[in-house]
Amino acid sequence: MEVEIDRVTYVSHEHPVRRVDTNYIAMVDLSRFELPGMLEQLWLRQVDGGYEICCLPFYVYGLALGDVVEKNAEDFVTRRVKSSGRRVLRVLFSEAGAEDDSRLSLCEAIASVGLLSPGVSCDPGMILC
């Protein structure tokens, strides 16, 4: 979900895959990913050595579910401390598709092999699986 407040777009995770385990939220400034004026909210839980990511990052590159990160006093992620070894697959359809397009089939295929997914986005131009 994206919300704009005072000319800053906040990207939030409504259904993080490990929401039950989380107890912190931190932001990532997306300017370094060529998305100025955007921040992504990441769900975290405290672990030895930092905070474990409990959602699938939508826009942040170089971070994945289970990675351990540091955050500063302003609750911004500052760096990755430990990699989980996981990767994030992002699929973007640039235009809204017909009802019979392959978006839901793609999500079903991803789920059938046991990959985690936050579900299908309500945005007709984007699918998150």
Tell me the pLDDT tens digit for each residue of 43-76.
Answer: 999 999 999 999 889 889 999 999 999 999 999 9
Q: Is 22 in the same domain as 69?
A: yes
**pLDDT by residue (tens digit) across 103-125?**
777 777 877 887 776 654 434 34
Let me know whether 62 and 123 are in one domain.
no
Where in the sequence is the domain holding 78, given as residue range(s)?
2-82
Tokens describing residue 107: 């999500």
List, in order, residues 6 or more apart from 28 with CB less than 8 Å away.
Answer: 39, 40, 42, 57, 60, 63, 76, 77
Domain match, 76 and 116 both: no
Residues 13 and 60 in one domain: yes
Q: Are residues 15 and 39 in the same domain?
A: yes
Q: How many domains does the chain have?
A: 2
pTM: 0.75
Q: Are residues 67 and 22 in the same domain?
A: yes
First to last CA, the chain: 14
Q: Are residues 98 and 68 in the same domain?
A: no
